[in-house]
Amino acid sequence: KVEVNLTVKAFRQLQDNAMYGGWEEGMEQCIGELGTIVQILFQGKTCRVQYTDGRIWSINRVALTRVHTFSAGDAITVLSDYNAVVDLQDGHGGWNDNMKSALGANGRIKDIDKDGDIIVTIGNKTWTFSPVCIMPLENEAVAAEIPAIPAKKSTTQPKDKASETVNEMIAKIGGHLKEQQRSQVEDIIAEAAMEGNIETVKSIIRQQPSAVDKTFEGKTALQFACYDGHIDIIKFLLESKADPNFQDSEGDSPLHFSAHGNEPNAMVELLKHKANVNIVNKKKQTPLHIAVGVTSPECIKILLKANADPSMKDFDGDTQMHDAIAQKNNESDIVKYLLESPWADFSQTNKGGFNVLHWAAMKNSKLAVEIILKKKPQMANDKMSDGIAALHLAAVNNCIEIANILIKSGQCDVNIMDKKKRTPLILCVGQGHQQMMELLIGAGSKVNAQDSDGNTALHVAMLINALPTQQEMDTEIICALLEAKADINIKNKDGELPLDLAGDEKTKQFMISLAKKAEAKNLQTTSRGIGIPPDWEPMTTSVRFKRVPLSPNAGGMMQKEYKMVAEKFNKTLGQATILQIERVQNVYSWETYQL
pLDDT for 14-41, tens place per residue?
777 655 667 878 888 888 888 888 777 7
In the prediction, which pLDDT does 548 show?
93
Strand ranges in 185-343 using DSSP code E only, listed in sequence order: 215-216, 219-220
Residues with Cβ within 8 Å of 276's Cβ and at least 6 positions away in sequence, in order, are 244, 245, 253, 255
Contact (CB, 8 A) for 528 and 593: no
> Which distant-in-sequence residues (6+ apart) come within 8 Å of 91 by Cβ?
130, 315, 316
Residue pair 368/356 in contact by the 8 Å Cβ criterion: yes
Q: Collapsing DSSP states into helix, strand and coil, what is residue 582?
A: strand
More confident residue, 559 or 177: 559
pLDDT in tens, 436-492: 999 999 999 999 999 999 999 999 998 876 554 444 455 788 888 998 999 999 999
Domain locations along the chain: 2-66, 75-144, 154-308
Supply the pLDDT for residue 498: 93
| Cα–chain center distance at 253 | 30
pLDDT of res. 157: 44
Smallest CA-to-CA distance from 67 within 5, 130, 144 is with 5
Q: In what order do the strands lie in the sheet with 134-136?
A: 125-129, 118-122, 106-112, 75-78, 134-136
SS3 27: helix
- With beta carbons less than 8 A apart as the criterion, state whether 160 and 293 touch: yes
What is d(CA 206, CA 202) in angstroms, rounded to the nearest whole number? 6
User: Strand 75-78 to strand 46-50: parallel, antiparallel, or no bridges (unpaired)?
Assistant: unpaired
Q: What percent of the chain has pLDDT over 90?
A: 47
* Nearest alpha carbon to residue 59 among 41, 67, 47, 73: 47
Residue 177 has a pLDDT of: 41
Determine contact, residues 96/103, Cβ cutoff 8 Å: no
- Write down the pLDDT at residue 283: 94
Bridge partners (DSSP) of residue 135 are 77
**Domain 2-66 falls under CATH 2.60.420:** no
Is the pLDDT at 88 greater than 90, yes or no?
A: no
CATH fold, domain 154-308, is: 1.25.40
Are 2-66 and 154-308 equal in CATH topology? Answer: no
Q: Which of 219, 161, 152, 144 is nearest to 186 (CA)?
A: 219
What average pLDDT does this structure show over 242-252? 95
Asked whether residue 264 carries a pLDDT value surpassing 80, the answer given is yes
Termini Cα distance of the chain: 45
Q: Identify the CA nearest to 204 among candidates 252, 254, 242, 255.
A: 242
Residue 407 has pLDDT above 90, yes or no: yes
Using CA atoms, how far apart are residues 224 and 243, in angstroms rounded to an integer?
A: 13
Structure confidence at residue 158 (pLDDT): 42
Cβ pair 62, 35 in contact under 8 A: no
Which range among 88-102, 177-191, 381-395 shows the weakest confidence by mean pLDDT? 177-191
Residue count of the chain: 595
Residue 509 pLDDT > 80: yes
- Of 381 and 96, more confident: 381
Q: Are 472 and 568 in contact (CB under 8 A)?
A: yes
- Which own/partner contact pairs does 325-333 have at CB distance under 8 Å and 24+ positions apart? 325/356, 325/359, 325/360, 325/363, 325/365, 325/368, 326/359, 326/363, 327/292, 327/295, 329/295, 330/360, 330/363, 330/364, 330/365, 330/367, 330/368, 331/365, 331/366, 331/367, 332/295, 332/297, 332/367, 333/297
Model pLDDT, residue 154: 39
For residue 426, give the 3-state DSSP assignment.
helix
Q: Is the pLDDT of residue 181 over 80?
A: no
Residue 148: pLDDT over 60: yes
β-sheet bridge partners, residue 219: 216
Distance CA 458, CA 446 (A): 11
Query: Alpha-carbon distance 56 to 47, whole Å?
Result: 10
* Torsion sign across C-alpha atoms 420, 423, 429, 433: positive
* Whether the predicted pLDDT of 243 surpasses 50: yes
Could you report the per-residue pLDDT of 277-304, keeping only the tens digit for each?
Answer: 999 999 999 999 999 999 999 999 999 9
- Compute the distance between CA of residue 215 and CA of residue 503 in angstroms, rounded to an integer: 75
Q: How many CB atoms lie under 10 A from the CB of residue 378?
A: 9
463 contacts 441 by C-beta, under 8 angstroms: no
| Average of per-residue pLDDT values in the chain | 86
